[in-house]
Amino acid sequence: MVVKEAEARAAYEEALRRVGVSYDIAGSFDEVLRLSIDNAYSGLIIDILTLIRSSKEEKLIAYDCLNFYPSLRVKWDARQKTMNLSPLEQTFSADTEATLDYFIESRCRPFTARSLRKFNRKDTSLALLLSTCCDFSDGASLKTFTVNISQGGAFVHTTHSFVKGQTVWLRFLELPDAEPIKAVVCWSIEWGACRSIPGIGVMFEFRSQEQATELWKMARL
């Protein structure tokens, strides 16, 4: 749970106590990053005011988290002493407690707890071919692009289904070394499953350090 203001924090804790779940509290998205690197989580509750008041750098972390974890955005009304949903969440239900219960039971519990990557992410769009075959045989590759990339892996846009642990191959069109890069699917976001960009998070298995250096250098240009 990400919330800075003490009164809102106490109210959200009471709501979660009634649901009966274990959780950690972060007062900023910098703290979320530190916690989620060392611990595995199944979901994220975000206080809207904490998000709005975050720095530009923290908002990038928030974007990463929203694309990585099931997330629910809530707002504490200090005058009415009530916990409300964001306008986006209200389009599905105006009942805050029922929505919180649904979020925990239907989105968080089925979601395998996981931690964020330990490498810094860079938002960049690199054209690539994605394939389940190392030889990129005709009809086996998809034209797509990266949403973000790090030294350890990338988030690749796709509406096709992949499973955790599946091996894929990536051929970056701008990379001088045309040899496909082997990667393993670590997680996926299905099309329509949540209000996030669909795709897969992959971990690279480079054949050489030179290949890794060239890709990261290209991503930083």
Q: How many CA atoms lie within 13 A of 135 on its CB side?
A: 2
Helix 56-68 with 29-38: angle, nearest 10 deg: 40
Residue 4, pLDDT score: 95
Give yes or no for residue 19 having a pLDDT over 90: no
Average pLDDT over residues 170-196: 83
Tens of pLDDT, residues 184-203: 998 788 887 666 788 998 98
Q: Looking at residue 103, what DSSP letter applies? A: I
Residue 156 in 3-state DSSP? strand
The answer on pLDDT for 51 being more than 90 is: yes
Structural domains present in the chain: 6-108 (no CATH), 122-219 (2.40.10.220)
Give pLDDT, residue 88: 64
pLDDT tens per residue across span 112-131 = 898 876 566 788 899 999 99
- What value does the mean pLDDT take over residues 128-143? 85
Is 100 in contact with 91 (CB distance < 8 Å)?
Answer: no
pLDDT band at 7 (very low <50, low <70, confident <90, very high): very high
pLDDT attached to residue 58: 83
Predicted confidence at residue 87, as pLDDT, reads: 66
pLDDT, residue 10, reads 95
Q: What is the pLDDT of residue 182?
A: 94
Q: Worst-scoring range by mean pLDDT, 21-25, 111-115, 156-160?
A: 111-115
Query: Tell me, what DSSP letter sits at residue 104?
Result: I
Q: Is 213 helix (H, G, I), strand (E, B) or coil?
A: helix
Q: In the beta sheet, which residues pair with residue 144?
A: 128
Provide the mean pLDDT of the chain: 86
The burial class, CB within 10 Å (0-12 / 13-18 / 19+), for 129 is middle
